[in-house]
Every structure is written in structure tokens, then in C-alpha cells.
Amino acid sequence: MGVLASGRGSNLQALIDAGQKSDFPAEVVLVLSDKKNSYALERASIAGLRHRHLAPKEEGFYLKLGDEIENCEIDLICCAGFMRILPPEFVSRFPGKIINIHPSLLPSFPGLHAQKKALDAGVTVTGCTVHFVDEGVDTGPIILQAAVPVLPHDDEVTLSERILGYEHRIYPLAVRLIAEGSVHCVDGVVQYSGNAHQEGSGFISPVSE
């Protein structure tokens, strides 16, 4: 995996940690950031991973980003808090190979401040989504989602923290499914082969009794 990250990199860390387990079918080999002082780069350095800052203001930023990825023979590009909309020429250079994590149950609340949008909308369940990246903003085919309750006294910080805990679980899970060849995209919809689905209980929030 190559990971694109702009900030604190906690999802990057979840992917690094997963990749270090002997039974995990993928590993992070490259971390690229558009922010020179991002903690994501520090995490990559601590983990001994190849990492690089690329300045977004420089000409050919996305070309260089793509070249770095190609040079490392990356199979999967994971956006993990990468605060940029990937342009069509970058997305089409790596068809079906770019995924992203977003802190809402897409297609609800795409874009920035998804947790605040959920609070403002008064939903009682929100969550997080791993999806393939297409040319839109958080619009690509959905791979995996986790539902998270919104509690009465939540603010943006407490809700974000609760969702983040699930992000760290579903991002490695989605990578595993992809690496094992269980995920296929047909006409813009993800289909699974193998044993990905399990019947579970539903989720009511708030629970009245």
C-alpha cells in the first residue's frame, strides 16, 4: 500500500499496525504527504517506511505523486486524511486502485466537517465509510461501513473520536478484503466473493429499553 495523508495520521497508523501482523495480506511501503510537518510523515519515519513530502504548490504535483507511487510498484493507494480532491488525471492513472475513508455513512454528509453535519442534521446514527475513489467528492463505490450512535451530549470532538475508533477497525478490514481478492466493482457497485457477509443484529439508536 501507498498511503496519502495530510495530518495526524491515525488511520495511517492503523494500516501500518495491521500490515505488521504476519497474517495480514498487505503492508504499507510508502507514505506521501502534501504537508511538510504532518505527524503522518513522523509516523512513517518512526516505522522506518519510505516517506516523502511533495509541495502541492509546485508544478506537476499530481504527476510527481503518481510517479512516486509507480516507482514503488504500489498495488493499492489509501487516502487517509489526505485533504485534497484528487484530479481526474490522477484517478484515471490508477483505475480501481485508490480507496478513501470518510467519517460518515456515505452518501450522507460528504465533504469536510462530516461529523458536524451529522450533529446539525440531528441523526441518531452516523458512522464511517471506506470507498473507492472516483472523480467526485466522496462519491465512489462503497466497500465497507460501520454504524456509530450519536449520543445526546455529543459535540464534534466526542463524536469524531467515537467514529475514529471504528475507522481504525474498518480501514484495515477493507484493505484485507481487497488484498484477498474478495472485492469486485461491477457497474459502480461493490460485490463480494467469499464469506464477507454475516447476518447480524440491527442497530437501534437511541435504544428505548
In whole angstroms, how close is the CB of 41 to ligand GRF at the nearest point? 12
Residue with Cβ nearer ligand GRF (10 or 126): 10
Residue with Cβ nearer ligand GRF (70 or 155): 155
CB 125 within 8 A of CB 149: yes
102 is catalytic: yes
Where are the alpha helices (H) located in the chain, listed in sequence order?
Answer: 10-19, 39-46, 61-71, 88-93, 114-121, 156-179
Measured at CB, which residue is nearest to ligand GRF? 81
Residue with Cβ nearer ligand GRF (107 or 194): 107
In whole angstroms, how close is the CB of 102 to ligand GRF at the nearest point? 5
Distance CA 189, CA 59 (A): 35
In whole angstroms, how close is the CB of 117 to ligand GRF at the nearest point? 13
List C-alpha distances in Å: 180 to 73, 92, 146, 174: 18, 23, 20, 10
CB 132 within 8 A of CB 163: no
Tell me which of 102, 131, 153, 197 is the catalytic residue.
102
In whole angstroms, how close is the CB of 8 to ligand GRF at the nearest point? 4
Task: List the grid coordinates of 179.
Answer: 488484498
Question: Residue numbers of the site for ligand GRF (CB under 6 A)?
Answer: 5, 7-11, 80-81, 101-103, 164, 167
Which residues 6+ apart lie within 8 Å of 95 measured at CB? none
Distance CA 126, CA 119 (A): 9
Residue with Cβ nearer ligand GRF (10 or 145): 10
The residues that are catalytic are 102
